[in-house]
A and B are shown apart, each in its own frame.
With several copies, the nearest count.
Chain A
Amino acid sequence: MPGNSVLETAITIDTLEVANRTFITRFRSPKIACMVTPGQFLMASFPETSDPLLPRAFSVSDAQEETMSLLYVAVGKGTGRIAKLKPGEPVVMNGPLGRGFPDMKGGTSVWVAVGGSGAALIPILDRAARKTGTEITFYYGARTGAQLVNLDGIKNINHATDDGSKGFHGNVVEMLKEEMKKGRPGQLFGCGPTPMLVAMKKGFESQIQTYLSVETPMACGMGFCQGCPVRKSGEGDYYLACKDGPVFSAADIEFEVGR
Chain B
Amino acid sequence: MSADLRVHIGGLELKNPLMTASGTCGYGDELGDYFNVSILGAVVSKSLTLKPKIGNEPPRVAEVSCGMLNSIGLANIGVQRFISEKLPKLEKLGALLIVNIAAKRAEDYVSLADALAKVSFVRGLELNLSCPNVKEGGIEFGTDLGTLSSIVKLVRKVFPRTLIVKLTPNVTRISEFAKAAENEGADGVTVANTYVGMAIDIHSRLPRIHTVTGGMSGPAIKPLTMAKVFETSKAVRIPIVASGGVFVWQDFVEYLMAGATAVEIGTALFTKPDAPARFLEGITDYLSKENIKRIDELIGSLRVNPENVPHLKRN
Chain A contact residues, CB within 8 Å of chain B: 4-5, 7, 45, 47, 50-55, 92, 94, 216-230, 236-238, 256, 259
Contact = CB atoms under 8 A, between A and B. Distances in A.
A233 to B, nearest CB: 14
Given A4-B33, A217-B60, A228-B61, 13 more contacts: A50-B65, A50-B218, A51-B66, A53-B67, A55-B270, A216-B58, A220-B24, A223-B26, A223-B30, A224-B24, A224-B30, A225-B70, A256-B58
The interface centre, meaning the residue of B26, B55, B62 with most chain A CB atoms within 10 A of its CB, is B26
Given A7-B34, A225-B24, A220 B270 contact: yes
B253 to A, nearest CB: 17
Contacts of B106: none
Interface secondary structure of A, over-half rule: loop
Interface of B: 23-26, 30, 33-34, 46, 54-55, 57-63, 65-68, 70, 72, 75, 206, 210, 218-220, 247, 267, 269-274
Contacts of A259: 57, 206, 210
9 contacts: A51-B65, A53-B267, A54-B63, A218-B61, A225-B23, A226-B46, A238-B54, A238-B75, A256-B58
Contacts of B26: 223-224, 226
Interface secondary structure of B, over-half rule: loop
A229 B273 contact: no
B271 A55 contact: yes
**Top 9 nearest A-B pairs by Cβ distance?**
A227-B61, A220-B270, A219-B61, A50-B219, A50-B66, A226-B75, A45-B271, A226-B72, A227-B60
Given A224-B30, A225-B24, A217 B58 contact: yes
A258 B66 CA distance: 29
Given A50-B247, A259-B210, A220 B58 contact: no
B272 A45 contact: yes
Contact of A225 (B34, B57, B72, B220): B72
A226 B33 contact: no
Contacts of A220: 24, 269-270, 273
The interface centre, meaning the residue of A5, A50, A236 with most chain B CB atoms within 10 A of its CB, is A50
